[in-house]
């Protein structure tokens, strides 16, 4: 059956017209789906019984059940959801002073193979549909009785390897009649699939783009991230320049600091050279050690030194707060480990 949450508002209107319904009916349904807690067509009380029956026959409403929920000592919550076909994904809820933020997964598994990331440890199964991406947000909101204000595409999967569904999900998240989360409060992080960075730049979205950089030489980056063999640092930077020119938006570069790997003064200098003059920001992430992983976290002292060097050299850098590491909910720790 078709998942009704796979359609953005324009598409849903077309679907409705195809079954002889007025477009404003689609808008009513859209509002029920994204601005209330309802999980059945029967609760859509401003629709006729006849239409509700018709919808029930055509569409599923895709309501996730929570397989497991864990809470960190810092308040971060991690959900394991059954995506209704026996597969499971993880979603993380973080609470900040400015509101709630959800980290969504975009795929079941990941093909990228980054050596430091736990999501690599599970086989790639399939892309999530846009409705399946969106339902992570709705299920968390229902469970916690909250409205979230920020979405980051930083869970399991490579968002640009599931490009169309991610863009469509963004349209639903961003629609004032849908989840109504402003584009500036939506971030997409990519390991660096260069052609998609160009495409994303041309979308004319106001979302934030994060790039997982992590190293400044091709040798080191390829060792950490196999994607660098397909698109090297030079190609990646060219795409970033294009993005900045096209959108006039700042890029956020993620750089996970690992001991004796990419944390030296030499590395910091190379990073300054690479990013000099670019409209950007560096997000330093203390690397989280994964099972059987060879990378371990830099010391706090080294992380601070690295940050200060960047800031002293006119590259704005901040250290990402580590949230949820005690429940394996921090960066790179998601892997649906409870399902064998």
Report the catalytic residues. 90, 331
Q: What is the per-residue DSSP string for 67-80?
A: EEEEE-TTS-EEEE
- Minimum distance from residue 240 beta carbon to ligand SAH (Å): 13
- The pairs formed by 81-90 with CB atoms below 8 angstroms and a separation of 24 or more are 81/135, 81/136, 81/139, 83/108, 83/128, 83/132, 87/125, 87/126, 87/339, 88/336, 88/338, 88/339, 89/128, 89/136, 89/155, 89/156, 89/336, 90/155, 90/156, 90/329, 90/334, 90/335, 90/336
Q: Count CB atoms within 10 A of the CB of residue 76.
A: 23
What's phi and psi for 280, nearest 5 deg? -155, 180
Closest residue (Cβ) to ligand SAH? Answer: 332
Query: How far apart are the C-alpha atoms of 54 and 320, rounded to whole Å?
Result: 48
Q: Where are the alpha helices (DSSP H) in 36-96?
A: 49-58
Query: How far apart are the C-alpha atoms of 36 and 34, rounded to whole Å?
Result: 6
Nearer to ligand SAH, 287 or 315 (CB): 287
Query: How far apart are the C-alpha atoms of 286 and 322, rounded to whole Å?
Result: 8
- Minimum distance from residue 53 beta carbon to ligand SAH (Å): 41
Q: Count CB atoms within 10 A of the CB of residue 45.
A: 8
- Minimum distance from residue 152 beta carbon to ligand SAH (Å): 8
- Minimum distance from residue 159 beta carbon to ligand SAH (Å): 6
- Minimum distance from residue 39 beta carbon to ligand SAH (Å): 29
Nearest to 189 by CA among 253, 139, 273: 253
Nearer to ligand SAH, 80 or 154 (CB): 154
Nearer to ligand SAH, 135 or 158 (CB): 158
Query: How far apart are the C-alpha atoms of 25 and 16, rounded to whole Å?
Result: 8
Nearer to ligand SAH, 42 or 291 (CB): 291
Nearer to ligand SAH, 62 or 156 (CB): 156
Nearer to ligand SAH, 285 or 317 (CB): 285
Residue 19 burial by Cβ neighbours in a 10 Å radius (0-12, 13-18, 19+) = exposed
Query: How far apart are the C-alpha atoms of 285 and 322, rounded to whole Å?
Result: 8
Rg (CA), the chain: 21
Query: Which parts of this chain interact with ligand SAH (CB under 6 A)?
Result: 114, 116-117, 154, 158, 189-191, 212, 254, 256, 285, 287-288, 290, 331-332
- Minimum distance from residue 128 beta carbon to ligand SAH (Å): 13
């Amino acid at each position: 059956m078709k998942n009704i949450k796979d359609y953005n508002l324009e598409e849903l209107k077309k679907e409705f017209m195809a079954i002889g319904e007025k477009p404003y009916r689609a808008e009513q349904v859209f509002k029920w789906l994204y601005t209330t807690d309802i999980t059945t067509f029967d609760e859509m009380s401003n629709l006729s019984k006849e239409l509700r029956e018709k919808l029930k026959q055509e569409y599923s409403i895709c309501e996730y059940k929570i397989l497991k929920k864990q809470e960190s000592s810092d308040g971060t919550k991690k959900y394991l959801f059954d995506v209704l076909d026996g597969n499971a994904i993880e979603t993380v809820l973080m609470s900040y002073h400015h509101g709630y933020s959800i980290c969504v997964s975009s795929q079941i598994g990941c093909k990228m193979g980054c050596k430091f990331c736990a999501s690599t440890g599970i086989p790639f199964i399939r892309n999530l549909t846009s409705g399946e991406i969106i339902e992570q947000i709705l299920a968390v909101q229902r469970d916690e009785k909250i409205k979230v204000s920020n979405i980051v595409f930083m869970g399991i999967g490579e968002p640009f390897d599931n490009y169309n569904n991610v863009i469509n999900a963004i349209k639903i998240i961003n629609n004032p009649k849908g989840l109504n989360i402003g584009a500036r409060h939506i971030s997409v992080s990519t390991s660096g699939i260069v052609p998609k960075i160009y495409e994303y730049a041309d979308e004319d979205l106001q979302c934030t783009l994060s790039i997982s950089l992590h190293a400044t030489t091709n040798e080191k980056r390829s060792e950490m991230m196999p994607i660098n063999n397909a698109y090297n640092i030079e190609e990646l930077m060219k795409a970033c320049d294009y993005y900045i020119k096209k959108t006039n938006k700042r890029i956020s570069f993620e750089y996970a600091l690992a001991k004796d790997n990419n944390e030296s003064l030499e590395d910091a200098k190379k990073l300054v050279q690479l990013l000099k003059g670019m409209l950007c920001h560096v997000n330093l992430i203390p690397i989280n050690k994964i099972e059987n992983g060879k990378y371990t976290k830099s010391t706090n002292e080294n992380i601070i030194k690295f940050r200060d060097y960047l800031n002293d050299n006119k590259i704005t850098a901040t250290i990402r707060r580590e949230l949820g590491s005690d429940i394996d909910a921090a960066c790179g720790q998601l892997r649906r480990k409870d399902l064998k």
